[in-house]
Each structure stands twice: as structure tokens, then as C-alpha cells.
A and B are shown apart, each in its own frame.
Chain A
Amino acid sequence: MIGYCLRRLAWMLPTLLLATLVAFALLHLAPGSPVDARGEGSESQGIGSAAAVERFRREHLLDQPIWRQYLNYLGPFDLSPRGHASFGGSGERPWGGVLCGDLGGELLQPGVRVGEQIAQRLSITLPLMAAALLLGYAIAIPLGVFSAVRRGTRGERVLSYAGFLLYAVPVFWAGLLLQVAFGRRGLDWLPVLWPAGASELRPVLAASILPVVCSGYAVAVYVARQTRASMLEVLGSDWIRTLRARGIPERTIVWRHALRNASAPLCVHLGQVIPALVAGSVLVETIFDIPGMGTYLYRGLTLREYDVVTGVVLVCAGFACLGLLLSDLLHAALDPRVRDERR
């Protein structure tokens, strides 16, 4: 199994490199550049002198072909004017790039390192995502089991329709509805925006509830549908009929035997849910004004911060890969046949 894990981790590298390449290329192909984004909110319409623009482009390699910019981003040689002497630089900063563990710097805020910013934001986004995932699964599994066991009853039909309805609700709309319902304009139970400058845990926890619910409900609805389908398949199998014939209580059959067998496909879905949560964090964090990875990505896109976007995409791709690996490992842990195949 260790060998399998190592093989999978090794395969992640080309995947991640490909992700950075695609993100880098797409962003550079989009119209506009950080040079133009510098003017947003500027009093003089952001038009610096030609010399200043030229200097900015030269310092950040924006005047170089895209392949050279990408190689500079990858590293390990710094190809900028201050970079490695072998590549025409001053030698002041010879090494750099992703291969050196450096995700680059923000172009518009000199001195701000993308890696540090992502780490800081992950400390907010990761707990929220984990809470949403837990909440989603905690709701989805009992609901899915209930729907499967009570198939065809009125309660099950109501739940199914409600599930379809919720699944069709876009996250941004759900977020706004939650804000209206639980904010000051509604029940006035919860803060609807992230507390600015708060150093205490309590307001942060209170402000986390709605974003977690907003992210978690989509997970819950999706996973509940999958749980129901898996459970129905398992409950209809011969060995379950055999267990019933042996007089084993229905509760034990459902929760101990059927659910365990039905949960293997759910683990596979974990690999899909984690990337979806990461992608959804852009919307959720924007709605609830959370200073996490999602808002960082959004800012990077609007300002054409190449290193920010590529860095966030790289980290998200890493999470997606890890999510898939985790789901495979869980699948193997639950299903000995899979384990045997992978030895």
C-alpha cells in the first residue's frame, strides 16, 4: 500500500505541473495585464509614463515570451533581471520558482509573497471546508439511509423533492437567502459577514456558521442522493435477504452491514466533493466576505495577478489530487477486493 501511495504521489507532480501550465497560459491569453490593473482606483487613471510601464514590465519579465515567464515561474533558476547570472541576471537572486518552494510574489504589492498569503488564507478556508464537509456527510448519510429504507413512502418522497429543489438552488442565491433569513433583516440570529479585525474566536465562529451551512448543504444533497442509490442497491442484494432470513434485526442489517457496503462508493465521491468545495469557496467567500483562498483567487483574477492565480490553482489542484488519493485509500480500506488489486 505504501508503494501504491508513493506511486500516486509521484503521478501528482505532472498533474500539478500541467495545472500550472494551463492556468498560466489561460491567464496570459486573457486581455489586459497587471500593468493595466495598476490603475484601478487611481486618481490619474492609472496611466504611468511609458518609462514606468516599461520598467514594470522589464522587472516582472512581462516583456519576455510566455515560455520564459513560465520557466521563471517554475524555477529553479530566477530568470528576472535580478536573477541568475547565467541567464543574464545580476545574480542578486539566483534561485526561485515553484521547484524551490516559492510561489512567487504579488506584482502590484511588491514584497508580498503569494505562498505566505495562501498559507494565511488556508487557515481560514480549510477549517470552513472541513466543517462543511463534515456537516454535509453528517446530514447526508442518515438522510440517504432513511430514503432508501423508506423508499416509496410519503416522507421519502417529500425528502426527495426537497433534495432536488435544494440541489437546483445556486450557492450564491442560497447564500443571499441565508443572509436575509438569519441576519438583522430576518431573525437576527447570526452575523452575515466575516468580522473585520476581530481577534476573538467567538465572533469568528458565529460568522462561520452560515458559510458552512451554505457550502455544506450542497454536499449534503449530493451525497444523500448517492447514499440512497448505493443503499438501495445493497439492500436489494441476496446476502441482505439471507441476513434477514437468519432473523438479524433490521436496524443491524441497515446500519452495520448494508451501510458499510454502501459507503465504498461514497468514499469515491469524496474525491469529487473536495475539489468542488474548493471551487465553491470563491462564491461562498465572496458572499460572506471571508478573507480566504476564494477571495484571494477572485482578486488575483480581477487584477491579473499571475502568480496569485497560478499559485491558488496549484494548491487547489493539489487538494483535488489529495482528495482523490484519500478517497481511493478509504475505498481500499473498506473493500478488501480493492486493497488486493492495488498490492
Chain B
Amino acid sequence: MIQGFGSLTLWPGTPSFEAVGRLRRTLHGPWSRACRSLLFVALALAACGVEQPPPSSPATPAPPSQAAAASAVRSASAPDAFYPGFDPARDTLPTPVDGGRVVVHLLSFPTSLNYMIDNSSVTRRMWNELHEGLIRQDLETWQYVPALAKSWTVEDQLVLPGGDVKSGKHVLTGLVEDFGDRWRIREAGTTRDVAKSEGAVLVRGSAFRFELRQGVKWQDGADFDARDVLFSLRCFRNPHVDCDEKRYQFDKIVRAQSDGPHSVRFAFAKPYFLAENVFGSLTILPAHLYDLSDPRNPDHAADADDERQARYLAEHPANRMWVGLGPYRVAEWSDTAIVAKRWEGYHDRANGGHVDEIVWRMIKDDGAAMTALLEGQLDFYDRVSGEDYLGPRTQSPEFTSRFYKGHFYAPYISYTGWNMRREKLSDVRVRTALALCFDWPAFIQSYYKGLAERVTGEQFLRGPAYDPTLQPLPYDPDRARSLLADADWYDRDQDGVVDREGVALEIEFLYPSGNRTSELSGQAFQAALEKIGVKLTLVARDWPAFMARVDKRDFDAISMGWITPPVVDPEQAWASKWAGADSANNAGLSDARVDGLIERIQVELDPTRRRELFAELQRRVYELQPYMFGVNVPRKFAMSKRVRNLQCFGLDPGYSIRRWYVIEKP
């Protein structure tokens, strides 16, 4: 769920009365009447010392369903919801005007605009405007909706005796009805009955048929068709293409074929709960430019092997000057800016955006970016520091006359990962003791000024896979001492540091240099651990050196963060098969129960049962404490008043430039 400032008090972890009062006084946000009313009710209750219940149930709030989460998103992402003085419930949104340009801040530039080989979140942000997939997630409801595919059908597979789902031999694909003693399968207008006694195996919901839109053009004028889709899938499965972080999803697809230029079919070996995500994230490349075996390609080479194809793909000039299917086309790429201009050939003009030009301006330093905003060289900046957000810099009349500000929650978590391979951190009692020592409520108040919420799992805390009933560990240094003693860690030599078998409990806290949040949380953690006799040493390394140590698993504790989709497949993070040196399971968690839950989640197509499994997994992982889970921090933004209709959503990046439009005077 996305929330404006007014709904802050609706969730557990309510800021103190003083903090809320200070925020109320200082913020010049988009206060609707409803939000104000809610805030005043919350203030009154907080003043009376009454803790605010979560919206569903005071005692044990139920996990938000997909529908509930979507409903919350709808209310918080109302048109122009953040614009000062504008109440979406009361006022009428001005008629959008086309034209003008907006300048949006980016912290870094991608190495390539080919999202297949560049896995950065900045590429994905730009892709929202530059390209399109087969299907896309609706920003408000998170449901998949048609994009390049005008429709799709989920089908079943009936594997006949002697059949093989991988080759498709003796496999019937279609909609299967169960008639007790037999199955009836409808496929391409034909119907066939198969007796269950024959020994066929039914694989429900494991095949997908997509009907592609006709008349869609690439930005260089070529036609888009099934060849592009199948070529893209081939690339993902080409082991030489540098897309390993995504390949595992596409390796689950066992068959792909076209039934004509505008129809494609895919089959999985077994049901997969994130199958739609797989198709949503299928990066479609223009085969006529990238496919060496395509006769339309000027560099056509029919005999090119996988390795040559992969190299061609990696070095293609279109990776920078992207030729896509979206409403904007890259016009310029310099060291500081990527400029995209409206492409008139976009197939869905109604959703093709209002501004004529989007400039993504790369400013690596946050201070310089804030300066650029104030100087009028940025229209949108979503990394406003807490100090600036609540401080005088964004309260001056000079600021408020030209900008407005607000914050929203997007899927992001911070965490401290423990290296469970290290002997001293292999004991869950030690890891739990360390987690009990950090005073999160105090840190959230002092550093985040109340604008952060604790998390107990890797899933988005507003998403359907997160269980908000799981309470985070309290701040309890006494229990921490006791747990350490249970694990045989106590101060034998009276030097202030607990020890065991002659070795003191000293932990190195590794973080990327320049990351102020990691540095300050590390310092707070250091002071907290000192009280229970654990020595924490802070070590900052620049990003390459930091990642070199993470890759080699050469760390005790690392400070990191995750940007995720609303629901993430937990396999890479927690499955023991990824506990080696080459996956995101950098903590090295290896637990049979966790593995079993992950496998069950992946094939469970029923959302209710899947939510229960996710909750069970979250509890188990939290019990094992591979991470000290941190917080979900809202993105604090400032926007020029010349741009209207900023809406914020629960999908990264949390906004859609296509909905913005420029007015000459605020």
C-alpha cells in the first residue's frame, strides 16, 4: 500500500506524539480533508496514550489480501494526490496538456538500456517509458493486464502415458475439465476425453497462450511479431548471455512455440505461482536488430553459435540508443543525461504520456542533486534526506512556492546480513542476541524521524506475501546477555568483551562507503553491542571492494538493502541450494524446513493457501535470524509545481511519468 503522510498513524510503529506534531507543523504536503481528520484522530489517541490498532483487527490483524492491498493502493494513488491544496475527492483534475519536458533525477546511469543484460533498477525505471512487455502489472491493482499481448489464456497440460512435458510428446494442452472417471480437454476448438485409468498426468495451470497485438511497430518502423518474443526467450536461455540473475525464471519454461505471427505458447514443467511475473519480465528484443540468424539483420550470419550471438547482443549499439516499443525513444545519451522524446508510432496513444521529452539527469551526489532541484534543474527528486524533508530547507516560502513534497512506501528493505558460515555466528542464539540489542524504535525516531517501519521478512510489507502479525524482536539487552551466556559466550577475562575458548566475540560490520544510513546504524549498533560485551568494528569499502568481499563471503556482517517486486520468489534468498558463493543467499541459510516451504510455495496456485505458506516461511526465517531485518523506508520526494498529476504506487519506482503533465505556471 502506498500512503501519504496523513496515513502514517494507521500502522503499527506509530511515531511519538511529538514527532507527529512536529511533522504536522512542518510538512506542507497534500493534505486532503480526510487525511487531516485521520491525523487529528490519531493525535488525540496518541495524546491519550492509546496505541493505534492496525486497520483490520486490533488484536491480530489479518494479512492483507491482494484485494485489500490493491484497495489501499487505489485510495493513496489518487490523481495528483500530493499537489498542495488539491483534494482528489473534492476538486477536478485540470485537463492534461501535452508537451513540455520533465527532468527526473537518477542516482546512477545504467551500463546498458537492454534490460536483459543490465539488471539495474535504473534501467527498469527508464524501461517503463521506453519499452513494453507482453503483459504489465497494473500500477493500482498489481494485477497483470494486456500490453503487447492483447489477451492470454492459462491452460492445463495432460501428459499421456509415455509422454514428456519437456519435448511436448504425447502432451495435450488446453482447458481440462474433470468428469470423475475422465478428463475432457478442449484444445483449438476440438474436444477429447481421456480416461483417468489410462494413467495420464494432469498438470494444471502450466501452459500459457498469448495473442499478440497486430500492427505494433518497433521504434525503427519494423513490425513486432512472435519472432521477437521467441528470439528473446532464446537469448534468456543462451548460457553465454549475461543475464544469470534472471535466467532461472526462464529456465522454468520447457517449451515455446508460435502458432502464427501473432500467437505464442509457452509451457512449464509444473505450475509456478509467479508464472505471470515471468512473462511480465520477459525482455523483448527486436529480432531484426539483434538476431544474427534473422535475414533482416544487416549482420546476418546463419551459422552464428550461441557465444557469438551473446557477444553480438552485448556489444550492440542499440543497447545505448535503445529501439523499443514504448511511447518514448532515446534521443541522446551523455555522461549526465539521457534524453527520451515522444515516439508518435506508439500503439496505445491514450496511455502514451503527456510530456514531449523526458530527461533523466544523473547526479551521483545527493547534496548536488538537492542543489540542482533548488536551482530549477530537476523537476523530480526522490532521495530527499530526512533532514531536508523535515527541516527548514523545504519549508521556506522560496521552496514551497516552487515545489511540493511528500513520501510514499515502495518495496524496499534494509537489513544486516550475518555470515552463518562463520563459527561465531552459526549459533541462532548469538544472532538473536545481536538482534535484540538494537533499539530500532529509538533509531527510527532519531534518524528516520519516525518515517520508517520495521520489517520481519524480505517481502514487501504492504504486499500479499508479508505477514504483518509477526512482531519484530523487542529491544532487550538483558535477554541478549542471557542468550549469549546460554551459547557459552561470557566475559571470562574481565576485559569487557565476551569470549569462548579464548576467542573474544568480535564482529566486523562491512558497509559500502558513502552510505550514511549504514554508517550511522553501524555506529548505533556498535554502541549497543558494547553494552553486552560484543565488539563491533565498522569497515567501509567502496562498492567494488565491498562486493568483492560479499562475493567471496569474506565478511561477518554486511549492511545492504533490497528493492523487490511486491511478491518475490524466496528461492534465491533462502534456499540451501543457493547458499554457495554465487547467489543472493549471502547469509548461507540452509534449512530443510525452509527449503520445503519454498518448494510448496512455488507450485501452490491457490492465493489463500500460498499466503499461509508465505507466513509460515516468514516465521521460520525470522526464527533463524539469517538477517537482522531493518526497515522499510519511504521515498521522500520533492516535485516542481509545474508538473501535475504525480501519483505514487507500490511498484518500483513508485510513480509513472506517463501520467505527468506540465503546466506553464504553478
Verify A45–B550 contact, CB threshold 8 A.
Answer: yes
Verify B582–A302 contact, CB threshold 8 A.
Answer: no
Q: Is A77 an interface residue, CB under 8 A from the partner?
A: no
Verify A192–B582 contact, CB threshold 8 A.
Answer: no
Stretch at the interface among B372-380, B522-530, B603-611: B372-380
Q: Is A216 an interface residue, CB under 8 A from the partner?
A: no
**Nearest-neighbor residue (CB-CB) of A291 within chain B:** B335
Q: Which residues of B contact A35 (CB under 8 A)?
A: 548, 551
Verify A49–B119 contact, CB threshold 8 A.
Answer: no
Q: Which residues of A contact B371 (CB under 8 A)?
A: 179, 183, 192-193
| In the complex with contacts A41-B122, A44-B572, A121-B335, A51-B545 CB distance below 8 A | no
Q: Is B242 an interface residue, CB under 8 A from the partner?
A: yes
What are the interface flags for A108-119 relative to B under an 8 Å C-beta threshold, 1 for contact and 0 otherwise? Answer: 111110000000
| In the complex with contacts A32-B546, A41-B122, A109-B320, A52-B337 CB distance below 8 A | no
Interchain CA distance A51-B361 in the complex, whole Å: 34
| In the complex with contacts A45-B586, A53-B582, A191-B375, A196-B245 CB distance below 8 A | no
**Nearest-neighbor residue (CB-CB) of B310 within chain A:** A55
Verify B582–A36 contact, CB threshold 8 A.
Answer: no
Verify A109–B112 contact, CB threshold 8 A.
Answer: yes
Q: Is B124 an interface residue, CB under 8 A from the partner?
A: yes
Q: Is B239 an interface residue, CB under 8 A from the partner?
A: yes
Q: Is A130 an interface residue, CB under 8 A from the partner?
A: no
Q: Is B194 an interface residue, CB under 8 A from the partner?
A: no
Pick the most buried of A51, A55, A197: most chain B CB atoms within 10 A of its CB: A197
What are the interface flags for B76-113 relative to A under an 8 Å C-beta threshold, 1 for contact and 0 otherwise? Answer: 00000000000000000000000000010001101110
Interchain CA distance A34-B289 in the complex, whole Å: 28
What are the interface flags for A40-63 relative to B under an 8 Å C-beta threshold, 1 for contact and 0 otherwise? Answer: 111111111111110110000000
Verify B545–A31 contact, CB threshold 8 A.
Answer: yes
Q: Which residues of A contact B580 (CB under 8 A)?
A: 50
The smallest C-beta distance from B412 to any residue of chain A, in angstroms, reads: 11
Interface residues on B, range: 35 or more
What are the interface flags for A47-86 relative to B under an 8 Å C-beta threshold, 1 for contact and 0 otherwise? Answer: 1111111011000000000000000000000000000000
Q: Is B368 an interface residue, CB under 8 A from the partner?
A: yes
Select A33's contact among B376, B377, B548, beta carbons within 8 Å.
B548
The smallest C-beta distance from A199 to any residue of chain B, in angstroms, reads: 8
Interchain CA distance A196-B378 in the complex, whole Å: 10
| In the complex with contacts A48-B245, A56-B242, A109-B112, A33-B544 CB distance below 8 A | yes
Q: Is B293 an interface residue, CB under 8 A from the partner?
A: no
The smallest C-beta distance from B379 to any residue of chain A, in angstroms, reads: 11
The smallest C-beta distance from B632 to any residue of chain A, in angstroms, reads: 16
Verify A196–B545 contact, CB threshold 8 A.
Answer: no
Verify A49–B582 contact, CB threshold 8 A.
Answer: yes
Q: Which residues of B contact A52 (CB under 8 A)?
A: 242, 244
Q: Which residues of A contact B122 (CB under 8 A)?
A: 41
Q: Is B334 an interface residue, CB under 8 A from the partner?
A: yes
Interchain CA distance A275-B102 in the complex, whole Å: 39
The smallest C-beta distance from A34 to any residue of chain B, in angstroms, reads: 7
Q: Which residues of A contact B317 (CB under 8 A)?
A: 111
Verify B244–A184 contact, CB threshold 8 A.
Answer: no
The smallest C-beta distance from B552 to any residue of chain A, in angstroms, reads: 10
What are the interface flags for B560-600 relative to A under an 8 Å C-beta threshold, 1 for contact and 0 otherwise? Answer: 10111000000010000000111110100000000000000
**Nearest-neighbor residue (CB-CB) of B340 within chain A:** A197
Verify A43–B563 contact, CB threshold 8 A.
Answer: yes
Chain B 257-292 interface residues, beta-carbon cutoff 8 Å to A: none
| In the complex with contacts A47-B582, A196-B337, A289-B363, A36-B543 CB distance below 8 A | yes
Q: Is A24 an interface residue, CB under 8 A from the partner?
A: no
Q: Is A303 an interface residue, CB under 8 A from the partner?
A: yes
| In the complex with contacts A41-B107, A43-B121, A295-B335, A183-B375 CB distance below 8 A | yes
Q: Which residues of B contact A44 (CB under 8 A)?
A: 119, 245, 572, 584
Verify B376–A184 contact, CB threshold 8 A.
Answer: yes
Q: Which residues of A contact B372 (CB under 8 A)?
A: 193, 289
Q: Which residues of B contact A289 (CB under 8 A)?
A: 336, 363, 368, 372
A contact face: mostly helix, strand, loop, or mixed: loop
Q: Which residues of B contact A194 (CB under 8 A)?
A: 336
Select B544's contact among A37, A55, A196, beta carbons within 8 Å.
A37
Interchain CA distance A37-B541 in the complex, whole Å: 12
Pick the most buried of A37, A289, A295, A296: most chain B CB atoms within 10 A of its CB: A289
B contact face: mostly helix, strand, loop, or mixed: mixed
Q: Which residues of A contact B544 (CB under 8 A)?
A: 31-34, 36-37, 302-304
Q: Which residues of A contact B547 (CB under 8 A)?
A: 32, 36-37, 39-40, 45-47
Interchain CA distance A282-B398 in the complex, whole Å: 32
Q: Which residues of B contact A286 (CB under 8 A)?
A: 365
Q: Which residues of B contact A304 (CB under 8 A)?
A: 544
| In the complex with contacts A36-B548, A41-B107, A109-B112, A51-B239 CB distance below 8 A | yes
What are the interface flags for A93-114 relative to B under an 8 Å C-beta threshold, 1 for contact and 0 otherwise? Answer: 0000000000000001111100
Q: Is A324 an interface residue, CB under 8 A from the partner?
A: no
Select A45's contact among B110, B112, B560, beta carbons within 8 Å.
B560
Q: Which residues of B contact A290 (CB under 8 A)?
A: 336
Verify A32–B359 contact, CB threshold 8 A.
Answer: no
Interchain CA distance A34-B244 in the complex, whole Å: 17
Select A42's contact among B120, B240, B315, B359, beta carbons within 8 Å.
B120
Interchain CA distance A144-B205 in the complex, whole Å: 84
Q: Is B164 an interface residue, CB under 8 A from the partner?
A: no
Interchain CA distance A323-B398 in the complex, whole Å: 47
Verify A32–B582 contact, CB threshold 8 A.
Answer: no
Q: Which residues of A contact B315 (CB under 8 A)?
A: 110-111
The smallest C-beta distance from A26 to any residue of chain B, in angstroms, reads: 14
Q: Is A219 an interface residue, CB under 8 A from the partner?
A: no
The smallest C-beta distance from A214 to any residue of chain B, in angstroms, reads: 14
Q: Which residues of A contact B332 (CB under 8 A)?
A: 197
Q: Is A185 an interface residue, CB under 8 A from the partner?
A: yes
Q: Which residues of B contact A51 (CB under 8 A)?
A: 239, 244
Select A40's contact among B112, B363, B543, beta carbons within 8 Å.
B543
Interchain CA distance A227-B71 in the complex, whole Å: 74
**Nearest-neighbor residue (CB-CB) of A198 within chain B:** B337
The smallest C-beta distance from A32 to any residue of chain B, in angstroms, reads: 3
Question: Beyond A40-B108, A47-B245, A289-B368: 14 further Cβ-contacts under 8 Å?
Answer: A32-B546, A32-B547, A37-B544, A40-B547, A42-B119, A45-B547, A48-B582, A52-B244, A185-B375, A192-B375, A194-B336, A196-B337, A295-B335, A299-B335
In the complex, 15 of the A-B residue pairs with CB atoms within 8 angstroms, ordered by the A residue number, are A32-B545, A34-B544, A40-B547, A41-B122, A43-B119, A43-B120, A43-B124, A46-B119, A55-B242, A108-B111, A185-B398, A191-B375, A196-B359, A197-B334, A295-B335
Interface residues of A (CB under 8 A from B): 30-53, 55-56, 108-112, 121, 179, 183-185, 191-197, 286-287, 289-291, 295-296, 299, 302-304
The 7 closest A-B pairs by CB, nearest first: A32-B544, A291-B335, A196-B337, A36-B547, A32-B545, A31-B545, A111-B315
